[in-house]
Amino acid sequence: MMEVQAKAKWVRTSPRKVRLVARTLRDLPVSEALVACSFMPKAAARDVAKVIRSAQANAENNFNLVKDDLVIKDIRVEPGPMLKRGQPRAMGRLFSIFKRTSHITAIVEDRPGVVKRRSAALPRAPQPAASRPTPAAAAAARAAAALTPATTESDEPVAPARPKRPKAQPAPSASTAPAEGKKTEAKKTQAKKKDDGKKDTKEKKSK
């Protein structure tokens, strides 16, 4: 196994932030590590990805290694020179600001057979011949569908209509019963008056 390395010095990121990214990429294939760096929300992942790509290019161009067999063996992060700055604060004081830098070293090695490669095309499962319609049957089905008229009615059976029940007549209420009784009594009294008038006329004529 051959080891190839690449270095990036004076990277303007603190070593502590870079180590958080480097810790998750050890013993990963180079292709998977680059994909992981592209999805990491940390800004230090971009600097680490640049060093990994440089090591991959060195192994491929300088040592004729296959890039698909490369695996990250180690990523070392060392502190670089620190820039000291200050911010004025209250009562004439100076608040110190330390701008830290890092030296990143990525080491890759070829491990043939370790990285699982996916085949170009996966074999398809055999399908039963009965489920596959022949071209002649498919053409006949299309012709039959074109000849049949399109209907908007559904094919569901229609349920028979139920016979309508006669509406129940409302019972006479208590308020209407006395009124009807009064009408009948008034009619009777009128008929009696007419009969009495007729009798009086008959008696006068007889006299």
As a whole number of angstroms, the distance between CA 13 and CA 78 comes to 11
Query: What value does the mean pLDDT of the chain take?
Result: 81
Phi and psi at residue 103, in whole multiples of 5°?
-115, 115
Task: Find the distance separating the first CA and the last CA of the chain, reported in whole Å.
Answer: 161
Read off the pLDDT of residues 121-180 as tens digits, 9 standing for 90 and up.
545 556 565 556 677 777 888 888 877 765 555 555 666 677 777 776 665 555 555 555
Distant-in-sequence contacts of 60-63, Cβ < 8 A, 24+ apart: 62/4, 63/2, 63/4
So what's the pLDDT on residue 159?
A: 66
Residue 99's DSSP bridge partners are 83
Asked if 111 and 1 count as a contact pair (C-beta separation under 8 A), the reply is yes
Q: What domains lie within the chain, and their CATH numbers? A: 3-110 (3.90.470.10)
Share of the chain above pLDDT 70, in %: 70
As a whole number of angstroms, the distance between CA 133 and CA 5 comes to 59
So what's the pLDDT on residue 54?
A: 96
Residue 55 corresponds to which tokens in the numbers above?
């090591």
Asked if 82 and 99 count as a contact pair (C-beta separation under 8 A), the reply is yes
As a whole number of angstroms, the distance between CA 142 and CA 133 comes to 12
**23 closest CA partner among 71, 70, 69, 76:** 76
Q: What is the mean pLDDT of residues 74-93?
A: 96
Beta strand residue intervals within the chain, DSSP E: 3-11, 70-79, 83-88, 94-99, 102-110
Residue 47 corresponds to which tokens in the numbers above?
């600097």
Asked if 57 and 84 count as a contact pair (C-beta separation under 8 A), the reply is no
So what's the pLDDT on residue 152?
A: 54
As a whole number of angstroms, the distance between CA 12 and CA 83 comes to 10
So what's the pLDDT on residue 111?
A: 86
